[in-house]
Structure 1
């Protein structure tokens, strides 16, 4: 079970938090501490109205630069539909946002329906 820091922010282990993205309908983990390897985001320390800097960019499938031209979820889903099956629940996506004072500003390069919109961080799903 996920340990919540607030209604909108989850503890994802040492130096990690996550918020629920209403555009992707999935969590977005963010490294905010010095633990581990890789980039670390600035965090205002407010679990009720978090701010992360710089922007949060999530890429999946062929949108990941090192995966360009390789098989991806688009291929697998197309093949399943051609076989008369339901597509997988996974897709190739881009989610790019600024999270400021508990609100998500989705940038225009997002591939989901909330691109260009600003919304409150939703509560973590039950």
Structure 2
């Protein structure tokens, strides 16, 4: 993968950006291949805009995974504030516009409802 601006490009037609809410990379397919969803991309690697919103889910929040403990990566009690691992299941939903990430209210991380700038990370 090559870094261009705040993004990394992948050979599969995706670009990756570092999400400060999840502290993980999120991939967005921007080159259509006919079989997978494709986002609109303004082509600006310094101040990218993707349309529509970017929704990343894991654990029991994955559609069709069922309730608590039913997801492929969910551990029983992961949402227990005392004994669980709050990072094992979650939702990250955002708009990426002009190099800013607007986190929507359904995010399960601490940046829900906030807007922050995209920044480059060597590990993304």
Query: Could you tell me how far apart the structure 2 residues matched to 1:105 and 1:49 are?
Result: 13
The one-character-per-residue Cα deviations of 1:8-30 (angstroms, maximum 9, x if unpaired) are 10012231101000000000000
Name whichever structure is richer in helix by fraction. Answer: 1
Question: How many angstroms does 1:76 deviate by?
Answer: 7.1
Cα deviation, 1:82-118, whole Å, max 9, x if unaligned, reads 7xxx95x951110000000000000000000000000
- 1:125 CA drift (Å): 3.3
Q: Residue by residue, what CA displacement relative to the aligned partner does 1:50-108 show, whole Å, maximum 9, x if unpaired?
A: 00000000000100121113154342758xx97xxx95x95111000000000000000
1:31 is matched with which residue?
29
Does the aligned pair in 1 maintain the 2:104–2:113 contact within 8 Å? yes
- Where does residue 60 of structure 1 map in the other structure? 58
Q: Give RMSD over aligned pairs.
A: 2.3
Report the alpha carbon displacement of residue 31 of structure 1 after superposing the two structures with TM.
Answer: 0.5
The TM-score normalised by the length of structure 1 is: 0.82
Q: Which of 81, 87, 91 is residue 88 of structure 2 equivalent to?
A: 91
Q: Is the 8 A contact 1:106 1:115 kept in 2?
A: yes
Contact 1:73-1:90 within 8 A present in 2 as well: no
Unmatched tracts of structure 2, length 5 or more = none
- What's the counterpart of residue 109 of structure 1? 106
> Which protein is bigger by CA-based radius of gyration?
1
Structure 2 length-normalised TM: 0.83
Range 30-39 or range 18-27, more displaced:
30-39
Runs of 4+ in 1 over 2 A off after TM superposition: 71-74
When the two structures are aligned, how many residues end up with a matched partner? Answer: 118
